[in-house]
Amino acid sequence: MKIVVLAGGTSSERDVSLSSGSRIYDALKSRGHQAILLDVYLGLKTDEPVTEQIFEAPIDWTKDIQAISESHPDLSRLKEQRKDGGRSMFGPNVLTLCEMADIVFLGLHGANGEDGRIQAAFDLMGIRYTGTGYLSSALAMDKGLSKQLFLEAGIPTPKGFTLKNGQTADPSSIPYPCMVKTICGGSSVGTYRVNNPEDLPGVLADAYAFGEDVIVEQFIDGREFSVGIIEGKALPIIEIAPLEGFYDYKNKYQPGSTIETCPADLSEALTLKLQGYAEQVFEALKLTSYARIDFMMDRLDESFYCLEANTLPGMTPTSLLPQEAAAVGISFEDLCEKLIEVSLARYREP
């Protein structure tokens, strides 16, 4: 198949996306697909007409991809690389090449990639892509909206409330420690643990730098888990135990920073309960194809709390979904093929 692997973009998870995209690209090439890797924002700069022959060209599409750094990328100079100033999310020739492809494998993460806007544009243009649709992407990306849907579906989630940019909260009204998160962020960028009331105003100011809305949420002291879902069915559970702090950007992507155990050391009853919650989340958010759902388990009473759903899970060397798939004998290459297969099923005639 002719496949465009779409990565990069302008979110705070840009570097993570490029890492995911390069691994996906390599896996698809190894299986004989005519794959190319594109940065959705920078596109392909060329003075020559773009034709389908480019899918066969001997181009190393991953040569400029760097390892993920310990901090999220500085995006301030990215627009300088676009002659048009970056008015459109789509860089030169991106849409043309995506229209030529049999499917676009979305290796995008975070805002401007995982929030449904690119999916909506592709739907209007008749471009097929991996993952869920635009509406479920948008619902899952907004932690405030998804929390409301969890509650309506009877899925336990930490107590919390949202604030608009500029709003403040009475520090004495909140139990500590608490978590402050930008409402549409990912990879724990814009996520903070607040231990003392006097720290809250400064943390809120920092969080507003990542978006107009933030969520202040109950801190759950316990164990952290993630559950991959493919076609509505849960994969083995993975437990995440950072060596220091919580599962932040550094601990997610720097090898050796976190101990990951899959299958997680849980009783059969707790395993089935957590997998059941993950499948409920998949249904409540109207997700299709695949996703990954994150949870905390209270250390004292073993109660589970859903944190969020990820509609385009990471595919980096340290990412969780590939580890869960490997636990049931699915190689990374087979996983990429499987995600294409279940995504194409959305386009088949009923």
Q: Mark whether 308 is an active-site residue.
A: yes
C-alpha triplet 345, 349, 350: angle, nearest 5°: 90
Q: Mark whether 267 is an active-site residue.
A: no
Phi, psi dihedrals of residue 226, rounded to the nearest 5° = -140, 145
Q: Mark whether 187 is an active-site residue.
A: yes
Q: Which of 208, 314, 319, 324 is catalytic?
A: 314
Q: Which of 41, 253, 277, 290 is catalytic?
A: 253
Q: Which of 12, 112, 146, 187 is catalytic?
A: 187
- For residue 25, give both structure tokens: 């690209």
C-alpha 220/C-alpha 297 separation (Å) is 7
Q: Mark whether 294 is an active-site residue.
A: yes
The answer to whether the CB of 299 falls within 8 A of the CB of 241 is no
Q: Which of 310, 319, 324, 343 is catalytic?
A: 310
Q: Mark whether 11 is an active-site residue.
A: no
Q: Mark whether 93 is an active-site residue.
A: no
C-alpha 140/C-alpha 184 separation (Å) is 9
The answer to whether the CB of 338 falls within 8 A of the CB of 24 is no
Q: Which of 294, 305, 324, 343 is catalytic?
A: 294
Q: Which of 9, 13, 22, 146 is catalytic?
A: 13
Q: Which of 213, 217, 239, 308 is catalytic?
A: 308
The answer to whether the CB of 289 falls within 8 A of the CB of 136 is no
Q: Which of 292, 319, 324, 343 is catalytic?
A: 292
Q: Mark whether 292 is an active-site residue.
A: yes
- Which CA distances in Å does 304 have to 32, 194, 242? 42, 21, 19
Q: Mark whether 333 is an active-site residue.
A: no
C-alpha 124/C-alpha 325 separation (Å) is 32
Give the active site residues: 13, 187, 253, 292, 294, 308, 310, 314
